[in-house]
Amino acid sequence: MSADRDSRRPIPDQVRRFSATELAQHWVLMVTLTVLALTGLALFAADTWLGRTLIAAEGGIEARGTIHRVAAVALMILTGWHFLYVVFTERGHGQLMAMRLRASDVRGFGRLVAYYLGRIEELPEFGRFTPLQKLQYWGAGIGSLMMIATGLVLWFHTAAMMVVPKWVFDVTTIVHGYEGLILFALLFGWHVYIVHLSPGNFPMQRTFLDGKISVERLRREHAREYRELFEDDVTPGGASGPGGAE
């Protein structure tokens, strides 16, 4: 596989893409959002068989609420943890910087569309995070923050309504419901398709388990990052590379 390469360093089969901390945060997010989605959907669809089945499975309407709130607290703790991680750790801050939305992402997105429509032959070259990955991250992040904010109003409604009128509360209820539905579709539909269900990845990609990505995939889907790691004049050993810190 490295016949076309001219390198003095041996190229490994896999590189580490995510640190243990990042995998742990992903696990907490995955579990809390799953619990929140199932208990939330139960209420959102309470007048359908789906809602009734979920509520029964969750131990009734009051237990459902308790489970939802416990998971919400876990999500808030995770949010605090993630915030500290991306602001105060070198590795985390580097990842956040790599995750910034830039003008090149808009161009990259346009070229991706062109690729899908058959206008260009080759998959566009992306860096560490593709435009679609950035959409997933910021969608999940901003969505979670909105869910936390609106959810707190609903949870502490008696305190909230000392300040806001009833119609704001009613609007909050609607936003929380639909925002949750959008987030559910984004992560449990789209994100799961992209990382696990799409041809080539099906039935499962192992990156979320071991944090590793095959070099072949890295070269194809993150061509610029691959070049920075293995072709450009970058110090080997990876202390400055995105896959370096563990």
Residues lying near another protein in the complex (CB under 8 A): 1, 13, 43, 46-47, 55, 60-62, 115-117, 123, 132, 157-158, 161-171, 173-175, 177-179, 181-182, 185-186, 189-190, 193-194, 198-201, 214, 216-217, 220
160 phi and psi angles, rounded to 5 deg: -60, -40
* Nearest residue (CB) to another protein, 117 versus 239: 117
Nearer to another protein, 180 or 242 (CB): 180
Q: Which of 137, 169 has the CB closer to another protein?
A: 169
Contact 85, 21 (CB under 8 A): yes
CB of 132 to another protein, least distance (A): 8
Quote the DSSP letter at residue 157: H
In the complex, the smallest distance separating the C-beta of residue 62 from another protein, rounded to whole angstroms, is 7
CA 237 to chain CA centroid, nearest Å:
28
How far apart are CB 95 and another protein at their closest, in Å?
Answer: 24
Looking at the Cβ atoms of 30 and 164, the one nearer to another protein is 164
Report CA-CA distances (Å) from 244 to 18, 31, 127, 232: 9, 27, 16, 16
Least distance in angstroms from the C-beta of 162 to another protein: 6
Least distance in Å: CB of 93 to another protein?
30
Shortest CB 188 distance to another protein, Å:
11
Alpha-carbon gap, residue 133 to 126, rounded angstroms:
11
Q: Answer whether 195's CB lies under 8 Å from 208's CB.
A: yes
Cα(154)–Cα(175) distance, integer angstroms: 11
Q: How far apart are CA 90 and CA 88, in angstroms?
A: 7
Given the complex with another protein, which of 213 and 245 has the nearer CB atom? Answer: 213
- The Cα 226–Cα 242 span in angstroms is 10
Q: Between 142 and 168, whose beta carbon lies closer to another protein?
A: 168
Sorted by sequence, the CB contacts under 8 Å of residue 193 that are 6+ apart come out as none
Indicate the residue among 221 and 231 with the shorter CB distance to another protein: 221
Q: What share of the chain is helix, strand, coil (3-state, %, to 5)?
A: 65, 0, 30
To another protein, the closest distance from the beta carbon of 77 in angstroms equals 26
